[in-house]
Amino acid sequence: MPNIGIIEKYTTKNLLVFFIGVLFVFIFVVFMAQFSRIFTYAMTYGADMLWVLSTMAYMMPDILALSVPMAFQIAILMTLTSMSQSGEIMALRAAGFSFKEIARPIFIVAVCLVFVMLALNSWLSPLGRAKVEESKEDIASKISKVNVEPKTFINLGDWDFFTEDVDKKHKTLSQVHLSRKNDDTALSTRINAATGKIAVGKAGVSLDLFNGQMQRVDSVESRKIITAEFDKYNLFIPLTFKAASKRTPKASELTTLQLIKRLRLGQDDPKRLADYRPEPVFRLSMALAPIIFFFLSCPVAFVTNKKAGRASAMIFSILFIFGYFGLITVGGNIGEKVPFWLISYTAPLLPVVVGLIVSKYLWRKRLSN
């Protein structure tokens, strides 16, 4: 009978080869998608390449948190279907090894990845997201370049700027819309103009707006709305400004310990607390993905037709990944919208519960054969 230690090392080695290869592919795809978005943001506000690279470094924990469970899912099925196609599973079964013994090294790797995912989701990813948002806010407050594009929202200091069309040669605009933020004297201030001209200097952005309307909602009496029409309106927006108030972090930017502390104290407004409640369990469900994928994938791989091989592995991987993350999204939405506290805290566990039920059925079916 073959030594169980040798078999475990062999299976683990094959699994890690597939896992690392697929992980690099996922990291590259997600990284490039995020890089494109960050690079566009940098070009809009004139940030240098060092800012882009440092921001991407902050995003790496988030990229890993998304890529690791998907890569592991595919690696499991690729490893076991490869062993099945080569007759190794059959040989091990003939030598007296049970399915549980064959799958044990994969389970050990899954447990290790759960701890990695807990560190990523509970600590590193929230810190990274907070750093990214702070970095974006900082670069937007020190604008060194304004690249105006049609049908694109641009943050200009205290204003959000949008225009339907731009003539860059003559620097003329059409259908201009501006909305002011961080205004202590009004709930909202909006300016709409049919046409306009833009001039960007070192000190700031100068806008000449024509044939438009300004609307202002009073900060004390929300029913009091001031509107004024104009033929011409001049607006100057400085390129360097100081934020009027400290940004309130989102639930996704707080570590799990910070979320638990805020929930225990209950000092935030009800809407924000409703966003906080499902977040810790949501992160736990994400962290448990490797274990659930293990329980789902192994019995499927053991019965996969040899002729189908890796094609079947990829199809099942896609189904499991979309199913699991789809249920996480559904559970998270239920947790945010249902006011009952028990559902708020437990709804994100929906994919874990469904995954365990389905995997129990698959293992029972596999072991009964």
Sheet holding 154-156, edge to edge: 154-156, 159-167, 172-180, 186-200, 204-218, 225-238
| Arithmetic mean of pLDDT, 49-65 | 93
Strand-pairing partners, residue 172, are: 167, 197
Note every long-range contact of 131-136, with CB atoms under 8 Å and residues 24 or more positions apart, other chains counting.
Answer: 131/58, 132/55, 132/58, 132/59, 133/247, 133/249, 133/250, 133/253, 134/247, 135/51, 135/54, 135/55, 135/58, 136/41, 136/55
What residues does 237 pair with on adjacent strands?
A: 205
Whether residue 301 is predicted with pLDDT greater than 90 in this model: the reply is no
Can you give the pLDDT at residue 244? 45
Convert the pLDDT of each residue in 303-324 to its tens digit: 655 555 566 667 777 888 889 9
Token digits of residue 82: 């490869």
% of the chain with per-residue pLDDT over 70: 87
More confident residue, 308 or 298: 298
Residue 112: predicted pLDDT: 96
Share of the chain above pLDDT 90, in %: 36
Q: Are 177 and 205 a contacting pair, CB within 8 Å? A: no
- Angle between helix axes 49-85 and 309-337 (nearest 10 degrees) is 130
Condensed to tens digits (0 to 9), the pLDDT of residues 2-11 reads: 566 788 888 8
Question: Given the DSSP bridges, would you call strands 154-156 and 159-167 parallel, antiparallel or unpaired?
Answer: antiparallel
Task: Determine how many CB atoms are found less than 10 A away from the CB of residue 133.
Answer: 16
Helix (H) / strand (E) containing 295? helix 289-303
Tell me the pLDDT of the chain averaged across its residues.
Answer: 84
Q: H or E stretch including 235?
A: strand 225-238
pLDDT, position 348: 87
The pLDDT tens digits of the residues spanning 148-189 come to: 788 888 877 778 889 999 987 778 999 999 988 767 677 778
pTM above 0.75, yes or no: no
What's the CA gap between 103 and 11, in Å, rounded? Answer: 8
pLDDT tens, residue by residue, 268-283: 777 788 788 888 999 9
Residue 230 CA to chain centroid, in angstroms?
43
pLDDT at residue 1 tops 60: no
Please tell me the distance from the alpha carbon of residue 64 to that of residue 26, in angstroms, as a whole number: 9
pLDDT at 202 exceeding the cut of 50: yes
pLDDT, residue 240, reads 60
CA 306 – CA 343 distance, rounded (Å): 43
Q: How confident is the model at residue 25 (pLDDT cuts 50, 70, 90)?
A: very high
pLDDT in tens, 247-261: 678 888 999 999 988
- CA proximity to 186, closest of 156, 216, 142, 154: 216
CB atoms within 10 A of CB 140: 18
